[in-house]
Amino acid sequence: MRPLLLTLKERPPQRLDLSGLLPELLAEKSAAEIARIGVETTRKPVTVGDVFRVRTGDARHIRIEGGCDRLDWIGHGMTSGEIVVEGDAGSQAGRLMAGGTLTITGNAGPWAGSAMRGGEIEIRGSAGERLGGPLPGETAGMRGGMLIVRGDAGGRAADRMRRGTIVVEGRAGAWAGSRMIAGTLIVGGPAGPLPGYLMRRGTIVLGASTAEMSPTFVDCGTHELTALRLLAAFLARYSARAARLLRRPLRRLAGDTAVLGKGEIFLSGRT
Amino acid sequence: MRELTANGVRIDNTFAEAFGMRATAVVVTADEARWARQAAITMTGFATSVIGCGCEAGIDRNFTAKETPDGRPGVRVLLFALSTGELQKQLAARVGQCVLTSPGSACYAGLDGQERLKLGSALRYFGDGWQISKRFGGKHYWRIPVLDGEFLCEATTGLSKQAVGGGNLLIMGESRRATLAAAEAAAAAIARVPDVIAPFPGGIARSGSKVGSKYKTVKASTNDAYCPTLKGAVTSALSENIASVLEIVIDGLTVEAVAAAMRAGIAAIVKLGPRRGAVRIGAGNYGGKLGPHHFHLKDLLP
């Protein structure tokens, strides 16, 4: 069956809350019912029908055409099914996601995959700041699942990450993996200043050396570890680039010794 | 009763009586096949019989580098015990002492299933706080720093309560040499059957036992009815021409696997024939009252 199609008519005049447009919430709903769902974030009411052309289809597969950076909370708390955004997404795409797959063919705003617990997110463009990270006041960021960014990621990617895997195929901004609790962040290209800032545990892999490493990371030598080979085998179907990186000999830096110091940054020998 | 013969080998109209057991499996890998095999051989040493060893263990099969989780050559080991508690104890002790210690090794679950035994979760404390937990692809691993790098170990492995222990063949010949040739052929055939092990040395036991003894403290004693040197002294199961008897004991993950192994063993003995191998095949049982699984030899003929 063909997917449920939502085509953006024009750039919306206000930011929109698309957290109600989940496969599990739209199942059994007619096009007219879907069109009546409110998506406004200001006092001026806006419905799905006002901003999207709705074509009925299998709600387990939702396709949003004409993405835009004003479309916030896409896939918020999603547990199953699939959402594909043709174009950009706004803030907090896939936040608290627990299952299913979310694909964004363009760029995503800040907090993409924020505190997600499961499922898979693929961002074919770049992601904004605090990829997978927690909102202010939350104690942990991403807690599970798979988050892939084909382009670059903004500052503080994987902030306070607890579990799961993040792959950024391009560059990462400053403080990548800041305050990590555990989990794995792989960056294909270089990272900005101070990767792993205050990380307690967890693994960061950087494809290129970074301009400014924190002096609180200590060199533990170059190794070829079975664990990284195994991770490479798992990641091969998601990112050939990440898998290639993990199969190289990598220099292990332990830290951040300013805190617990049981985390690690692996650096590729090639610079 | 009509006597069964196949290619001149007499096959007793009897059955092997087998018991339910708890089983688990692990896959051991290393940088080279010989080191994976060495770890597996070490871990399955002194694991011939639950009577004295706590568990019965053996190598099920070899894996090429393409078949293992980490892309290195590996070996699958099966372990069988009478209780889940004992199996857990034996698994942790054997992987901890024999696989963790082996150069370049890694250890993964060799059995799926809802019920789990602790593998890396039991060994991680060796890391003294430096152990690292990793979860990806729906699996949980422990990385334990060791002198040649890291020991990578899956957190848990599967437990099967459908396993069967005690499938067996009694191989009887007119000389020690011929009987051993038949037993070796059978053991080699059984080694090729998946999901089974023959836990005795080289798959062969020369000291087949019966339950109990004249001594109160001895749980198992020599199966005198099959000892050729006692032919005249006891109620013997042996005819005059039998000079040697060897036993193959088989543990399997399923009833079907044990039956397949016994069938393969019988076929190999029959193929060798009575002139170069065994003249008669029997099986051990306790009158059918103890074990729930009966493997009748007549149903397993080639």
State the CATH number of the domain containing residue A141: 2.160.20.60
Evaluate the CA torsion angle B30, B31, B37, B39 in order and state its sign: negative
- The neighbour count for residue A33, using CB atoms within 10 Å, is 12
Specify the 3-state DSSP secondary structure of A51.
helix
> Domain for residue A157, yes or no?
yes
Rg (CA), chain B: 21
Is ipTM strictly over 0.90? Answer: yes
Whether B106 has its CB under 8 Å from any CB of chain A: the answer is yes
CB contacts, 8 Å: A225 with chain B: 143, 149-150, 152
Min distance A159 CA to chain B CA atoms (Å): 18
> Domain for residue A55, yes or no?
no
Look at residues B46, B11, B81 and name the one whose alpha carbon lies nearest to residue B251: B81
Are the C-beta atoms of B125 and B145 separated by less than 8 Å?
no
Look at residues B208, B184, B174, B202 and name the one whose alpha carbon lies nearest to residue B278: B174
Does the beta-carbon distance from B136 to A227 stay under 8 Å?
no
Does the beta-carbon distance from A227 to B152 stay under 8 Å?
yes
pLDDT tens digits in sequence order for chain B, 302 residues long: 567 999 999 999 999 999 999 999 999 999 999 999 999 999 999 999 998 999 999 999 999 999 999 999 999 999 999 999 999 999 999 999 999 999 999 999 999 999 999 999 999 999 999 999 999 999 999 999 999 999 999 999 999 999 999 999 999 999 999 999 999 999 999 999 999 999 999 999 999 999 889 999 998 899 999 999 999 999 999 999 999 999 999 999 999 999 999 999 999 999 999 999 999 999 999 888 878 999 999 999 98
d(CA A257, CA A255): 5
> Domain for residue A102, yes or no?
yes
Q: Same topology for domains B4-18+165-300 and B21-160, yes or no?
A: yes
Residue A21 pLDDT exceeds 60: yes
Question: What would the two tokens of residue A240 be?
Answer: 């050939």
According to DSSP, the residues that pair with B29 across neighbouring strands are B74, B106
> Domain for residue A79, yes or no?
yes
Look at residues A221, A234, A183, A236 and name the one whose alpha carbon lies nearest to residue A205: A183
Range of the domain at A183: 61-268
Number of domains composing chain A = 1
Residue range A249-255: mean pLDDT, rounded: 95
Question: What would the two tokens of residue B61 be?
Answer: 């099969």
> Domain for residue A9, yes or no?
no
Whether B293 has its CB under 8 Å from any CB of chain A: the answer is no
What is the interface size between A and B, counted as CB pairs within 8 Å?
49
Q: Which fold has domain B4-18+165-300?
A: Alpha-Beta Plaits (3.30.70)
> Domain for residue A13, yes or no?
no
Judging by beta carbons within 10 Å of its beta carbon (0-12, 13-18, 19+), is residue B44 exposed, middle or buried? buried
Does the beta-carbon distance from B136 to A231 stay under 8 Å?
yes
Instruction: Please state whether beta strands A263-268 and A203-206 pair in parallel, antiparallel, or not at all (unpaired).
Output: parallel
Specify the 3-state DSSP secondary structure of A60.
strand
> Domain for residue A15, yes or no?
no
Nearest CB to A230; choose among B70, B130, B133: B70
Question: In A, what residues contact B, Cβ < 8 A?
Answer: 144, 163-165, 182, 184, 201, 203, 223-227, 229-231, 233-234, 262, 264
The domain spans of chain B are 4-18+165-300, 21-160
Residue range A147-157: mean pLDDT, rounded: 98
Whether B130 has its CB under 8 Å from any CB of chain A: the answer is yes
Whether B32 has its CB under 8 Å from any CB of chain A: the answer is no
Specify the 3-state DSSP secondary structure of A244.
helix
Torsional class of A113: left (φ above 0), alpha (ψ -120 to 50), beta (otherwise): left
CATH of domain B21-160: 3.30.70.520
CB contacts, 8 Å: A234 with chain B: 136-137
Three-state secondary structure of chain B:
CCCEEECCEEECCCEEEEEEEEEEEEEEECCCHHHHHHHHHHHCCCCCCHHHHCCEEEEEEEECHHHCCCCCCEEEEEEEECCHHHHHHHHHHHHHHHHCCCCCCEEEECCCCCCEEECHHHHHHHHCCCCEEEEECCEEEEEEEECCEEEEEECEEEEEEEEEEEEEEEEEECCHHHHHHHHHHHHHHHHCCCCEECCCHHHCECCCEEECCCCCCCCEEECHHHCHHHCCCCCCCCCCCCCEEEEEEEEECCHHHHHHHHHHHHHHHHHHHHHHCCCEEECCCCCCCCCCEEEEHHHHCC
CA dihedral A132, B143, B122, B20 (to 10 degrees): 90
| Position A47, amino acid | T
Whether B150 has its CB under 8 Å from any CB of chain A: the answer is yes
Nearest CB to A226; choose among B70, B130, B137: B70
Min distance B64 CA to chain A CA atoms (Å): 15
A12 to each of A15, A41, A52, how far by Cα in Å? 7, 11, 10
> Domain for residue A16, yes or no?
no
* Consecutive H or E run containing A4: strand A3-8
pLDDT band at A271 (very low <50, low <70, confident <90, very high): very low
